[in-house]
């Protein structure tokens, strides 16, 4: 233990950097989102000590604690704001809703294939089936089967005089 105390006395930067890396490693293993901000705070305290701001162990621990609380509270607000958009960013099928898709295989008896989000999907259509190459709008997802409607006709932009 005296080695750590001697290292801290000589170079507190390395102790705080090790704390930050250790917290980040645990966060990476468990993906809790609770240890990311303490890891960042430890990194900031490490930078603070590297540039010569020495507050002693109690002062640095206090700065670490305050930074951790502030960063965690601010991140929760940011995460709530980012997630208030409705669709979960990890829900690929949910993100397909309201996307424009291109017909790649003609609809026969209401079934065909469309290209959307980088891949082809089987689809059923409600209403009149557009020809291959036309756009449709995805408005339903059931497993890997999309429900689509004919897209709106493209309106030509007015010409400049």
Instruction: Please give the share of the chain, as a percent, with pLDDT higher than 70.
Output: 81
Q: Do residue 75 and residue 119 come from a single domain?
A: no
Q: How far apart are CA 80 and CA 106, in angstroms?
A: 42
Confidence (pLDDT) at 126: 85
> Region 31-45: what's the mean pLDDT?
88
Please give the DSSP secondary-structure letter assigned to residue 17: H
Say if CB 132 and CB 103 are below 8 A apart. yes
Q: How far apart are CA 148 and CA 136, in angstroms?
A: 6
Distances (CA, A) of 35 to 10, 21, 44, 115, 120: 27, 11, 14, 40, 39
Confidence (pLDDT) at 45: 93
Question: What domain range is 96 assigned to?
Answer: 92-150
In a domain, 30, yes or no: yes
Q: What is the CATH number of the domain that holds 97?
A: 2.40.50.140
pLDDT exceeds 60 at position 54? yes
Q: Do residue 126 and residue 65 come from a single domain?
A: no
In a domain, 25, yes or no: yes
Q: Do residue 98 and residue 78 come from a single domain?
A: no
| Average per-residue pLDDT for the chain | 82
Residues 6+ apart with CB under 8 A from 103: 112, 113, 114, 129, 130, 131, 132, 133, 134, 135, 136
pLDDT exceeds 60 at position 120? yes
> Region 24-48: what's the mean pLDDT?
89
- Point out the domain boundary residue: 49, 83, 117: 83
- Point out the domain boundary residue: 27, 54, 83: 83
In a domain, 158, yes or no: no
- Point out the domain boundary residue: 65, 83, 101: 83
Q: Do residue 64 and residue 133 come from a single domain?
A: no
Say if CB 146 and CB 96 are below 8 A apart. yes
CA dihedral 128, 131, 132, 136 (to 10 degrees): -40
Confidence (pLDDT) at 62: 95
Q: Do residue 103 and residue 139 come from a single domain?
A: yes
pLDDT exceeds 50 at position 159? no
Q: Do residue 8 and residue 68 come from a single domain?
A: yes
Considering only 16-30, 65-79, 147-161, which range has the smallest mean pLDDT?
A: 147-161
Count of structural domains within the chain = 2
pLDDT digits (tens, 9 = 90+) for 80-114: 766 665 556 666 777 788 889 999 998 888 899 99
Q: Do residue 15 and residue 35 come from a single domain?
A: yes
In a domain, 157, yes or no: no
pLDDT exceeds 90 at position 78? no
Confidence (pLDDT) at 15: 86
pLDDT exceeds 50 at position 154? no
Confidence (pLDDT) at 158: 45
Q: Do residue 73 and residue 13 come from a single domain?
A: yes
In a domain, 32, yes or no: yes
Q: Do residue 60 and residue 6 come from a single domain?
A: yes
């Amino acid at each position: 233990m005296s080695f750590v105390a001697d290292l801290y006395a000589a170079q507190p930067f390395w102790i705080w950097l090790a704390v930050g890396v250790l917290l980040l490693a645990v966060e990476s293993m468990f993906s809790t989102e609770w240890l990311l901000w303490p890891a960042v705070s430890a990194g900031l305290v490490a930078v603070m000590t590297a540039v010569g701001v020495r507050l002693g162990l109690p002062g640095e621990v206090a700065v670490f604690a305050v930074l951790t609380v502030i960063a965690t509270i601010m991140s929760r607000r940011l995460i709530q704001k980012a997630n208030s958009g409705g669709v979960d960013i990890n829900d690929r099928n949910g993100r397909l809703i309201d996307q424009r898709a291109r017909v790649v295989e003609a609809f026969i008896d209401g079934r065909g294939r469309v290209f959307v989000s980088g891949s082809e999907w089987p689809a059923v259509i409600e209403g009149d089936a557009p020809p291959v190459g036309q756009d449709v709008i995805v408005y339903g997802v059931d497993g890997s089967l999309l429900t689509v409607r004919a897209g709106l006709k493209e309106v030509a932009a007015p010409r400049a005089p």
